[in-house]
Amino acid sequence: MKLCLLLILTLLLLSTPVFGELTNADLEKINTMLKESEARMKEHVSQEIAKVNLRIDALDKRLTSEIRSVDKRFDDMNKRLDDMNKRLDNQFTLILALFAFLAVVIGIPQILVALQRRHQRAQDEKIEAQQQQIETLIAEIETLKQQASSS
């Protein structure tokens, strides 16, 4: 118990400065220290902001150059696609011309042959009609001959 009492008394003696009041000079010293610390902190933050800004600028330049190279690639691809479209248009026109040529080369003779057959059929029908007329006329002539010879 004596030991506990001794410890408590020692702690009370050592902790007496805690109950002491701060003077104006002490307050001024603390205020100056705070201002200095704040100034150092502002300077440190400003330096870090400057470093970050430099990094941002470098990234911005790099991204700008990358965007330009991508734009150039897109422009090149667009030119290639335009050239390919022109070639495809030319080939399509050529294929259409070939189809038209084939239609003319194959179609016109077919039309001519069909017209010739139609004309020949008409002539065949006329010939058949004339043959039937001739046969009827021959039959009439024979009947007339028979009537003339019997009379």
| 18 within a domain of the structure (yes/no) | no
| 104 within a domain of the structure (yes/no) | yes
Q: Residue 69's domain spans which residues?
A: 27-150
| 114 within a domain of the structure (yes/no) | yes
Closest CA to 36 of 44, 26, 48: 44
pLDDT in tens, the chain (151 residues): 888 887 787 777 666 565 567 788 888 988 999 999 999 999 999 999 999 999 999 999 999 999 999 999 999 999 999 999 999 999 999 999 999 999 899 989 999 999 999 999 999 999 999 999 999 999 999 998 888 888 6
Domain count of the chain? 1
- Reduced to 3 states (helix: H, G, I; strand: E, B; else coil), residue 22 is coil
| 89 within a domain of the structure (yes/no) | yes
| 1 within a domain of the structure (yes/no) | no
| 10 within a domain of the structure (yes/no) | no
pLDDT at 40: 93
| 21 within a domain of the structure (yes/no) | no
| 129 within a domain of the structure (yes/no) | yes
**Beta carbons within 8 Å of 22's beta carbon, 6+ residues apart:** 30
Q: Checking phi first, is residue 137 left (phi over 0); if not, alpha (psi -120 to 50) or beta?
A: alpha
